[in-house]
Amino acid sequence: MRLIDRYLLRQLLGPVVLATLALTAVALLSQSLAGLDLIVNQRQSALVFLKITLLYMPQLINLVLPIAVFVAALVALNRLHIEQEIVVCFSGGMSRWQVISPAMRLACTIAFMALLINIFVQPASFRALRAELFNVRTDLAATLVREGEFSQPAPGLTVYAQSVDSDGNLVNLFIHQVKPDGSDTTYTAEKGRIARAQGRPVLILQNGSNQELSGRGVLNFLSFESYTYDLSPLSNSDELIHYKPSDRWMHELFFPDLQQDWERRNRLDLLAQGHARIATPLYNIAFMALALSAIIGGGFSRMGYGRRIAGIASFAALVRLVGFLALSASEDNAWLNILQYAVPLGATAFALATIFRQKVGRQIAISRTPPGDLAARARA
């Protein structure tokens, strides 16, 4: 039996891996299209864009894993059943549990890996993602200037740069500032570069001029080779990174600091997210069990299992939708967190009950594929 177990497990493992890779690639493509704003509007490098896209992967993998398990299991099990290899297993004396145990062991392994991702990998990657997005949002070079456009990064301040060269220098720079006292100051420079001086962000202007019109109508003109323009009023040094519930570690979700106003107001949201981290991997087991019930839960049919598969697929989609609703409801009532576990466990129990409700009849022993042929395939 061990040899046949390994054969059945091998037939399931390949499609699950391929389906996971394919669905993750599609999800990454969708995420990358949504993140093109980083390059188009925020003028970030392709490396930053790639880093942010990849940091979304742990969450994307956990989202597509149950679907990949369900689709791959249906494909593999349907092929095994149509070729009567599962029938041969039954005719060889294997019980229903022995036939489905390789698939269920694979689902439990995937669920455990998903749990590890939820507990350790996702918070670490999302914290790094939040820090990267914070750096993009506070990037003065991106927020101060839009190449070839007049921009107003702050009230009373207008900035224009003809282009930005490969070294990050602003070419043909124009700055017009209206000060609170009513005076106007205009800066023009051949080049400008954002740097830091004494811990403050500054704009170093090269080969330009400064024209200031005072409130009394007096015009002051000054040409310079290098001039330092202070950008500290444009940077919010008091802004801090705020971690969302998806970015927090498990102990921060279950035991928030109630002395902080935000965590006290969102205590139920944090608790619901913590239970969701634990409950979500159970959908991998539930969807594998549903796939097994679609193929093995009924009698053999020479006409195929399209109608049965469609029904189980619709039920699986409904189960996942109810799971999302349970998560939403748990954000308002802590006692409803039990539903996050009840939904996948209930679906698993239903699927297993469907599989074991019929006893294996002796008539399935008649098969076109002798048991010896299946053993030979397993050895191969």
What pLDDT band is residue 358 in, cutting at 50, 70 and 90? low
Q: Return the closest-CA partner of residue 144 out of 208, 181, 195.
A: 195
pLDDT of 141 above 70 = no
Q: How far apart (Å, rounded) are the C-alpha atoms in residues 179 and 189? A: 20
What pLDDT band is residue 365 in, cutting at 50, 70 and 90? very low
Contacts of 131 (CB under 8 A, 6+ apart): 241
Mean pLDDT throughout 137-141? 60
199: left (phi over 0), alpha (psi -120 to 50) or beta: left
| Res 57: pLDDT | 92
| Res 40: pLDDT | 56
**Encoded tokens for 168:** 């990050």
> Which of 240-249, 277-286, 304-313 ranks highest by mean pLDDT?
277-286
Contacts of 287 (CB under 8 A, 6+ apart): 66, 67, 69, 70, 73, 107, 316, 347
Q: In this structure, what DSSP letter does residue 68 have?
A: H
What pLDDT band is residue 42 in, cutting at 50, 70 and 90? low
pLDDT of 187 above 80 = yes
Buried b (16+ CB within 10 A) or exposed e, 198-229: eeebbbbbeebebebeeeeeeeeeeeeeebeb
| pTM, entire model | 0.77
| Secondary structure class of 24 (helix, strand, coil) | helix
pLDDT in tens, 289-317: 999 999 888 665 555 678 889 999 999 99
Q: How far is CA 349 from the centre of its chain?
A: 29
Q: How far apart (Å, rounded) are the C-alpha atoms in residues 204 and 191? A: 8
pLDDT of 350 above 90 = yes
Q: How far apart (Å, rounded) are the C-alpha atoms in residues 143 and 120? A: 34
| Res 93: pLDDT | 85
pLDDT in tens, 105-125: 999 999 999 999 999 999 999
Q: How far apart (Å, rounded) are the C-alpha atoms in residues 308 and 351? A: 13
| Res 34: pLDDT | 63
Q: Are 256 and 263 in contact (CB under 8 A)?
A: yes
Number of Cβ within 10 Å of residue 311's Cβ equals 12
Mean pLDDT throughout 59-66? 92
Considering the chain, what percentage of its residues have pLDDT values greater than 70? 82
Mean pLDDT throughout 157-173? 83
Q: How far apart (Å, rounded) are the C-alpha atoms in residues 66 and 109? A: 12
| Res 232: pLDDT | 72
